[in-house]
Chains A and B, each alone.
Chain A
Amino acid sequence: MNDRVEPLIDEEARLAGQGSGTTLATAAADVAVPPRDRRRGKSPTAIALGRLRQDRVAIVCGGVFLFFVLVAIFAPLLAKLEGQDPYTLHQELTDDYGFPTIGPTAEHWFGVEPRLGRDLFARWVYGARPSLIVATSVTVITTVIGVVAGLIAGFAGGWIDRILSWVIDFVLSLPYLLFAIALPSVLLAVFVGTAEEASGDDVSRIRFFSLILVLSLFGWAGLARLIRGEVLSLREREFIAAAKVLGVPTRTVLFRELLPNLVAPIVISVSMALPGYIVTEAGLTFLGVGLTEPTPSWGVTIASAQNFYSADPLYLWLPVAGITILVLALSLLGDAVRDAFDPRTRR
């Protein structure tokens, strides 16, 4: 089967390599390439990754992203290192008006919150978690659904395509932000009864899952439409016709023949989606319709810190800096990934 794919890969490699002769030249000297690959040239993905490795902005941004991922993973460890946790109240450290009486100290590295006096460093490191967990799970879910739906719609054609296309158009033409606000209250009522009866933990857990649900529900359609379009044009190519003639099962054609040719649009879409969902999560949480207290989350902190912006700037600026740097790094990385994977954007 691989022999049938070969001409296509060569053609794409040639196209992808056009803009950067230097990459190909250095690629020849690359010892890591297995002998088989050297004979037939690199795959488009390998070329794109090689290009990405040479992009200094991409490397720095990838490093920043990795830093936040590590902070999120080792949040309990970091908090233990400081000797605090994000939930304990230290109201003895705030004055009668709720303002903290201490700044950053050896005990509280970033100081404490106004009013409740919870440790800011611990809340900051734990706050990286929901952003990354929500954004990553939504990105994975929407990518899987989007790719499968797009593959099926594009490849099956006929009434399956018509129904799926209608659903895609339908989802894309709904005001998803308004739904994202409206849905959690309904879900909360369905699962735990009215807001008065629910405990704080229940509410924050339901909010967490409803956020993932809503974003996934509306996020897959764009990618599905993109993949469907790609599949429609790939479907008519010789290697697919050959696979069909040889009696390869449809599932194998879809996932072994078509999917490898869709790597570029999928990678680009993932790299754009991830920062987008981080912003959406934090934004909805900021508006009060995403995650809620007592979950440590940058969106929650920004929302409550805006009232203390002049009295306690650190309280506001820590989460603001966290979310801005993380999203900025991811977006720039996304741009670099797109440039590396899509030869047409090379100028």
Chain B
Amino acid sequence: MLLYILKRVLSAISVVFVALVASFALFFLAPTDPAGVICGNRCTPERVADIRSSLGLDEPPAEQITGYIKGIFAGRDFTNGGTVQHCDAPCLGYSYSLGQPVTKLLAQAVPVTISVVIGAAVVYLFLGALLGTMAAQRRGSPSDKLLMGSAITINSIPYFVFALLVALYVTVLPHPQYTSFLSNPIAWAGGLVAAWLTLGVTNTASYTRYARASMIESLGQDFVRTARSKGISERRVVYRHGLRAALTPLATIFGIDLAGQLTGALFTESIFGLPGLGVLTLRAFNQYDLPVLMGCVLLGAVVLVVMNLVVDIVYTFLDPRVRLG
């Protein structure tokens, strides 16, 4: 058991490390010219060389990457036009275009993305379990068919089109904007409710399908028959006995899915204009801001890998059969 966890942790670390080296090689060692981009069109060669040395781009590749990795764990110093600037660990460098530490930009963006994802998750888990249960109870009836048909249809509409149409035409919802939860919880919820509902409704469609399948299986089990034969109310049988057993597979899907949702919130953020990780990445792309791009990709990879690891480890505790593997 411990050996299995250790093996999974080691493989997760190897994935993150290779992702770091590969994306670093791609962004910084490819024959690109960030210094020229920062400097613009009317720029003297001396100025370009100066910027290049202040960014450390004139050093050999191996030193650049060790410098970057060292910065993550121990912090590093940047010399910029004679002045030395210390960047505390975890240091991911400075944004080319904004001059701010990448970690600071990420720290501002992450709460936005997390708020969007968690709020939407509350919507689709609740609605999905409820609608899925209702469909499973009425399996084969016209209302079940209608529900599943609309779930499949909503699922098949391209998400960005759906979100765009909601953003453009559903004007009854409060104007989307981000306020920190700590400073004003009501404004926080009000500004995010449009994003939550949009992301939530799309995912409700898939979760209704999962929940329905899981409930149908659970309602066919012997313990449900036993519960029915005891003579307790049908609602209690379905929601207390059936749903409880049906929630475990749903939770597994949710765990695996959640990491993908974090990066998938990109469309929601950019359509509703919420300054999260996706919008930060897009801005970095448009301004050729390599350190920020690198930081976003790295953070995304770490989040995905850690979430997968957590799901795997939690699963070994939930399901004894996995331990054999």
Chain A residues close to B by CB (< 8 Å): 166, 169-170, 173-179, 181-186, 189-190, 193-196, 275, 278-279, 282-283, 286-289, 302, 306, 309, 316, 320, 323-324, 327-328, 331-332, 335
Verify A306–B296 contact, CB threshold 8 A. Answer: no
Do B33 and A189 touch (CB < 8 A)?
yes
Residue of A nearest to B270 (CB): A287
Interface of A, secondary structure class, is helix
16 A-B pairs, CB-CB below 8 angstroms? A173-B304, A175-B263, A178-B263, A182-B26, A182-B294, A182-B297, A193-B33, A194-B36, A283-B158, A287-B160, A302-B161, A309-B168, A316-B168, A324-B158, A328-B157, A331-B152
Option from A174, A193, A283, A332 in Cβ contact (under 8 Å) with B160: A283
Q: Are A179 and B158 in contact (CB under 8 A)?
A: no
Chain B min CB distance to A70 (Å)? 21
Nearest-neighbour CB distance to chain B for A119, whole angstroms, equals 23
Specify which of A177, A184, A323 is in contact with B266 (CB 8 Å cutoff): A177
Is residue B108 within 8 Å, beta carbon to beta carbon, of the partner chain? Answer: no
**CB proximity to A under 8 Å, residues B280-295:** 281-282, 285-286, 288, 293-294
Given A178-B263, A183-B26, A189-B31, also A194-B37 (CB < 8 A): yes
Give which listed residue, A176, A178, A331, contacts B281 with CB less than 8 A.
A178
A282-B160, A324-B158 in contact; A178/B33 too (CB < 8 A)?
no
- B30-A185 in contact (CB<8A): no
What string of 1s and 0s marks CB contacts (under 8 Å) between B142-154 and chain A?
A: 0000000000110
Partner of B297 from A178, A279, A289 at Cβ < 8 Å: A178
Task: Contact check, B164 vs A302: say whether CB atoms are below 8 A apart.
Answer: yes
* Cα separation A196 to B37 with both chains bound (whole Å): 8
Chain B residues closer than 8 Å to A170, beta-carbon distance? 15, 18-19
Contact in complex: B30, A186 (CB < 8 Å) = yes
Asked whether B155 lies within 8 Å of A331 as measured between CB atoms, the reply is yes
For B160, list chain A residues within 8 Å (CB): 279, 282-283, 286-287
Interface size on B, residues (CB 8 A): 49
Q: Is the CB of B264 within 8 A of A174?
A: no
How many contacting A-B pairs (Cβ < 8 A)?
124
| In the complex, chain A residues whose CB is within 8 Å of the CB of B33 | 189, 193-194
Q: Which of B113-171 contact A (CB under 8 A)?
A: 152-153, 155-161, 164-165, 168-169
Contacts of B53 in A (CB 8 A): none
Interface contact A182-B159, CB-CB below 8 Å:
no
How far apart sit A275 and B165, CA to CA, in the bound complex (Å)? 20
Q: What residues on B are CB-neighbors of A193 within 8 Å?
A: 33
Find the B residue at minimum CB distance from A330: B156
Q: Are B267 and A175 in touch, CB under 8 angstroms?
A: no
Q: Tell whether B27 is near chain A: CB-to-CB under 8 Å.
A: yes
Residue contact B26 to A186, C-beta cutoff 8 Å: yes
Q: A173 touching B15 by the CB < 8 A rule?
A: yes
Q: B residues engaging A (CB < 8 A)?
A: 11-12, 14-15, 18-19, 23, 26-27, 30-33, 36-37, 41, 152-153, 155-161, 164-165, 168-169, 263-264, 266-267, 270, 281-282, 285-286, 288, 293-294, 296-297, 300-301, 303-305, 308
| Residue from A173, A190, A196, A328 whose CB has the most chain B CB atoms within 10 Å | A173
In whole Å, how far is B139's beta carbon from the nearest beta carbon of chain A?
Answer: 9
- Residue with the greatest number of chain A CB neighbours at <10 A, chosen from B158, B285, B286, B294: B158
A190 to B161, CA, bound (A): 32
What is the CA–CA distance of A176 and B264 in the complex, to the nearest angstrom? 10
Q: Is the CB of B301 within 8 A of A185?
A: no
Are B30 and A182 interface neighbours, CB within 8 A? no
CB atoms of A323 and B263 under 8 A apart: no
Taking CB atoms, residues of chain B closer than 8 Å to A275 are 156
7 pairs of A and B residues whose beta carbons are closest in the complex: A175-B300, A331-B156, A189-B32, A279-B158, A175-B263, A283-B160, A328-B156
The answer to whether A181 and B281 have CB atoms under 8 Å apart is: yes
Query: Contact at A169–B15, with CB atoms within 8 Å?
Result: yes
Q: Considering only CB atoms, which chain B residue lies closest to A333 in the complex?
A: B156
Chain B's nearest CB lies how many Å from the CB of A219? Answer: 14
A182 CA to B286 CA in the complex, in Å?
10
Q: Is the CB of A190 within 8 A of B31?
A: yes
- Partner pick for B286 among A177, A183, A288, A320, CB 8 A cutoff: A288
Whether A320 contacts B161 by the Cβ 8 Å rule is yes
Are A306 and B32 in contact, CB atoms less than 8 angstroms apart?
A: no
State whether B282 touches A289 (Cβ < 8 A): yes
Instruction: State the CA gap A254–B30 with chains docked (Å).
Output: 38
Residue of A183, A196, A331 near B41 (CB, 8 A) is: A196
Q: Closest CB of chain B to A285's CB: distance in Å?
A: 10
Minimum CB–CB distance from A206 to chain B (whole Å) comes to 13
**Which of A174, A278, A335 touches B301 (beta carbons < 8 Å)?**
A174
B282 in contact with A288 (CB, 8 Å): yes
Contacts of A181 in B (CB 8 A): 281-282, 285, 293
Cβ–Cβ < 8 Å partners of B282 in chain A: 181, 287-289
In the complex, how many angstroms separate the beta carbon of B172 from the nearest chain A beta carbon? 16
Q: Is B32's CB under 8 angstroms from A190's CB?
A: yes
Contact between A178 and B161 (Cβ–Cβ < 8 Å)? Answer: no
Query: In the bound complex, how far is the Cα of B23 from the Cα of A327, in angstroms?
Result: 32
A212 to B250, CA, bound (A): 34
Query: Taking the nearest CB of chain B, how far is it from the CB of A328, in angstroms?
Result: 5
A331 cross-chain contacts in B, Cβ below 8 A: 152, 155-156
Q: How far is the CA of A103 from the CA of B158 in the complex (A)?
A: 28
A332→B156 contact, CB < 8 A: yes
For residue B9, give the distance in angstroms from its CB to the closest CB of chain A: 13
Q: Are the CB atoms of B305 and A279 closer together than 8 Å?
A: no
B58, chain A: closest CB distance, angstroms: 18
A278: B residues at CB distance < 8 A: 158
Nearest B residue to A61, CB-CB: B156
